[in-house]
Structure 1
Amino acid sequence: MAGGIDVSDELNPFLGWRAIRFCLEHLEVFKPQLRAILRASELGNVKLMFPMISGKAELVRALEVVDECKSELASAKIPFNAEMQIGAMIEIPSA
């Protein structure tokens, strides 16, 4: 159970609904985490890596969400490092 979201029935959690797929389905969990990471990037050398990317569409959507969070922080005049490095880990054989 993650924040009221039951994930206990996953048959194969390594290949199933976790990591970036979970985050993209639950922006209410993902966006606050991204905003916190972005805010921390103002204070030091912070880098972000998206885990278990299985294709271009997942990476593109994740980067769109990062851009949304950057816009929200900029609108609220909350400092962050707009040049924070972002990467992806390709761990899925089908990628």
Structure 2
Amino acid sequence: MEPHKSGVSAGRVVVVIKIIIIIIVIIIIIIIIIRRRRRRRRTTRRRRRRGGEEEKEEEEEEEEEEEEEEEEEAEEEEEEEEEEEEEEKEEEQQQQQQQQKK
């Protein structure tokens, strides 16, 4: 190989260029990895925030459903109590009628 004008052989120039290219590629790869990590962190934070909001909404919905169920149960109990009272009244009336017949 003939030496370069500055006295450096062409082989050395090629090696130096290859090293520089490798360093640039490594830097680019590192930058890409860092960006991906940042994106993942952002998306996970967003998901957590959204998830937290969704959890709050779900909890509120569950509470509302529980309240509705409790109200329905209370209404059913009231209806059952009214029916029992009506049945008791009918039984008392029947007993009174039987006593009057005697």
Interval containing the TM-score (normalised by the shorter chain) = under 0.3
Which structure's CA Rg is the greater one?
2
Does 1 or 2 have the higher relative contact order (CA < 8 Å, sep 6+)?
A: 1
Higher percent of residues as helix: 2
Higher percent of residues as strand: 1
